[in-house]
A and B are shown apart, each in its own frame.
Chain A
Amino acid sequence: MEPIEGKAYMEQNKRSRGMKERHYWEEWTGRIYTSVCVVFLVAVIVSIVYFVASKGVATFAVNGVSLQEFFFGTKWSPDGEPKSFGALPFITGSFAVTVLAALIASPLSLCAALFMTEIVPKSGKRILQPAIELLSGIPSVVYGFVGLTVIVPLLRDVFGGQGIGILAGCLVLSVMILPTITSIMADALSSLPGGLRESSYALGATRWQTIARVIIPTLLPALLTGIILGMARAFGEALAVQMVIGNAPHIPQSLLESASTLTSVITLSMGNTAMGSVHNNALWSMALVLLLMTFIFVLLVRLLERRNRI
């Protein structure tokens, strides 16, 4: 390269010094901006946890409801005489709909994800992925309303009974968590470590053998992560479930009988109870249970991620 001389050289030098200053400034604004955001986020998280925990613990510490009654009692009658606060029916309901929804949605999601990444990657990515992403954009009240208008009458006609209940709830939920599970699984599948797939084909394995013996076992932790995040969403979903599950505070005898989840009881009663009353505090305790369950789900995902790395 020819050396730059005279005016031109000076000019360029000045410009690059200006650039340097600008970069320095940009670096610092970026840093300050992100730090402020992080501090803000941490403050929000800490205060939410503190608020829910202090309210939730009050049921036991201030109002003297025993832990045993809350977690193992089956009678929920906060306005009755005598009052009782057994949340077991709701805890059971929450777990039942979550597990069933995951059982329905996971195989479907796995197939959709495999289809998108292994079988027809091109058209799968172009058509199926946007379609599935669309599902996650639909507000939950719409799911609830569709459930109430389509699924509940259908179940009533096919199986008899009320149609409302755990089965209706988990069907609605399984559609809602489908996009979460599918997109996480599809991401995992498309990030398969290089060469594994090709090596398998090179050994003469068929596509199905490759999928079943190489791809799925290798990516199992990542696939499970998808399922657990889906379950976390199902566990926390309130509105759609509340509309179709029936909300009777009892452990149901069948899948087609009215039942409740933690979230549905909270949304149903929170506004009608006065802050600070035992009933209200008991609802906060349920919120605390939900929060702790979320922690557990996140913890599981972390553990799976660690396994995935090895």
Chain B
Amino acid sequence: MLKKWPFILMTLTMVFALAACGSANNAAPQGDAATGTDNKAATELTGNILAVGSTALQPLVEQAGQKFMAVDKYKGIAVQVQGGGSGTGLTQVSGGQADIGNSDVFAKEKLESGADELVDHQVAVVAMSAVANPKVGVTDLKKDQLVQIFTGKITNWKEVGGADQKIVIVNRPSSSGTRATFEKYALGQKTEDLPGSIQEDSSGTVKKLIAETPGAIGYLALSYIDNTVTTLKYDGVEANVENVEQGKYPVWAYEHMYTKGEPKEHVKAFLDYILSDEIQKSDVVDLGYIPVSGMQVKRDADGNITK
């Protein structure tokens, strides 16, 4: 008799696993809707929030989600955060599989259709800076020098006043949000991938390669920069929080959390929580982002800046 138990157990496990797989996508929104109406009368909000997308924003949303669920008022709400990239986040929120789509770029820059239905919630700002291997002997680049380097017209550091060293470009893949931001606001144009350039998607790997490869240049979000690489000034302006907030340093982008239409009550509670001083003044700063509240300039999807 005992021999049969493992089999029965396995069959049951499989059946449950299958059932779980099948219902995960369909049942969740129904559950949300049901709890939404049930709790109109009650004061406490309940429901599930699934936030998917940008890996650059993921640490913040995860940390904020943990704190949010620990708040007494919101203990009925479960926040789940997944990575997958900005494209995945935008696709899933626009398709209704996720409640929130995290993205490094404006939705209309990435989605071919359906961007109009999405409501943008800008929760933080990320600034990027060009960085180089410490031995190249350059600490400041003009915009057109940077453009010529990234388009392959300047191939040696001595042409911009540095060491006699071949330039190695460490880029992001052409679909990356960080690269899109850097190209749009630092270079002012799209660049093609040059033969011999290196592409990596993880900021950690990019930093490691720039620190180790002679003559390497790339770009990183401020939170990733440390003293193993040289931060290059842009047109003489240093990349730091004050310069970004005052609008002097242009290479930055919003971190977006998109919802399809206006957010439901419990989702709105979470978004409001992220925008509250509690998160903006502590977690956002700790994790290396810049709070949106401190920004003295605003920017729209076309790059127009208003004070």
Contacts and interface: CB of A to CB of B under 8 A. Distances in A.
Main secondary structure of the interface of B (DSSP, over half): mixed
Contacts of A277: 87, 112
B90 interface: yes
A9 B110 CA distance: 82
B198 A164 contact: yes
Given A33-B10, A80-B190, A148-B209, 9 more contacts: A29-B4, A164-B209, A248-B193, A248-B195, A248-B196, A249-B193, A257-B195, A268-B173, A275-B88
A33 B86 contact: no
A274 B111 contact: yes
B13 to A, nearest CB: 12
Determine which residue in A29, A77, A248, A267 has the highest number of CB atoms from chain B within 10 A of its CB, and name it: A248
A269 B84 CA distance: 10
B212 interface: yes
Contacts of B4: 26, 29
Interface in B80-114: 83-88, 90-91, 95, 110-112
10 contacts: A29-B4, A29-B7, A77-B193, A163-B213, A248-B196, A270-B87, A272-B173, A272-B176, A274-B111, A276-B112
A257 B17 CA distance: 46
Interface residues of B, number: 44
Contacts of B196: 162, 248, 250, 252, 257-258
Interface string B146-179: 0000000000000000000000100001111100
Interface in A109-158: 148, 152-153, 156
B11 interface: yes
Contacts of A164: 198, 209, 213
Nearest to B110: A274
A33 B112 contact: no
A170 interface: no
Contacts of A250: 193-196
A265 B194 CA distance: 15
A248 B174 CA distance: 10
Contacts of A276: 91, 112
A227 B88 CA distance: 37
B208 interface: yes
Contact of A246 (B14, B112, B177, B198): B198
Interface of B: 3-4, 7-8, 10-11, 14, 18, 55, 83-88, 90-91, 95, 110-112, 168, 173-177, 190, 192-201, 205, 208-209, 212-214
A107 interface: no
A78 B101 CA distance: 23
Interface of A: 26, 29-30, 33, 36-37, 40, 76-81, 148, 152-153, 156, 162-164, 242-243, 246-250, 252-253, 257-258, 260, 265, 267-277, 279-280
Nearest to A243: B205
A269 B198 contact: no
B87 A272 contact: yes
Contacts of B10: 33
Contacts of A267: 201
A78 B175 contact: yes
Nearest to B177: A272
A274 B112 contact: yes
A248 B205 contact: no
A272 B53 CA distance: 9
Nearest to A253: B195
A33 B11 contact: yes
Nearest to A270: B85
Contacts of B168: 162
B104 to A, nearest CB: 9
Contact of B192 (A26, A80, A242, A246): A80
A271 B87 contact: yes
Contacts of B199: 246-248, 258, 260, 268
B173 A269 contact: yes
A247 B200 contact: yes
A82 to B, nearest CB: 12
A265 B173 CA distance: 8
A280 B198 contact: no
